Amino acid sequence: MTEERNIEQDIETLEGLLGVHFKDTSLLLSAITHRSYLNEHRDATWDHNERLEFLGDAVLELVVTDFLFAKYPDKPEGELTAVRAALVNTNSLSSASETLGINQFLLMSKGEAKDEGRARQYILANVFEACIGAIYLDQGYDSARDFIAERLFANTEKIVEKRLWQDAKSRFQELAQERASITPTYETLSQDGPDHDRVFTVGVFLRHEKVADGRGRSKQEAEQQAAQAAIAVKGWG
């Protein structure tokens, strides 16, 4: 069985998972193709997904903004913006990709395919946006809106009720002050990797107690991951 035929079968299966029958399946093929795949497959006749991701991101923002504007007529702009950010962040979009099963259909280089954790989350989130872009181009705005609504909107009330729209550091600080009368502090525990691909490990402390740690490609990202982990460790979610 050839690789080309396998890809064709994958596209047909993926259409079923997405619930969309494409008129132009090359759009869906591009949506699942990482730039690195084309570097190893010079004979590929289709594009990678970055342009579709750019388009899908804009469609996603409009759809979610329209939904939140109608659902919460009394919320101020700042809170709506924060709720929207929580609804479409990397964790949310990568989770939606995983739920759909898109992960098994990604086309990427052998090196990229080995990435796990946060790096894979970014790829999955980008592919989700690229699929939105592909659906929008092939099926129109209403189909893209329905696709987004089915996969993301159910999370909205949980985000609002549990104030998950707050960034993790702000939320953990609020909870720590409320429940323990302590303001959390953060300490960089280690830095790994070369300068161009540095990974930071940061611990979050309540006085002398290290509650949790987090890793990220910047100190800010690592602090957010640490705070999110600390909320879970404390059972304050």
**Would you please indicate which residues are annotated as catalytic (active-site) residues?**
57, 129
Query: How many angstroms separate the CA atoms of 72 and 57, rounded?
Result: 22
* Chain position carrying tokens 């009368």: 181
Query: How many angstroms separate the CA atoms of 181 and 30, rounded?
Result: 52
Distance of CA 188 to the CA centre of its chain: 25
Structure tokens at 110: 């052998």
* Chain position carrying tokens 């090196």: 111
Asked if 222 contacts 185 with a C-beta cutoff of 8 angstroms, the reply is no
Asked if 212 contacts 230 with a C-beta cutoff of 8 angstroms, the reply is yes
Q: How many other CB atoms are found less than 10 A from the CB of residue 94?
A: 22
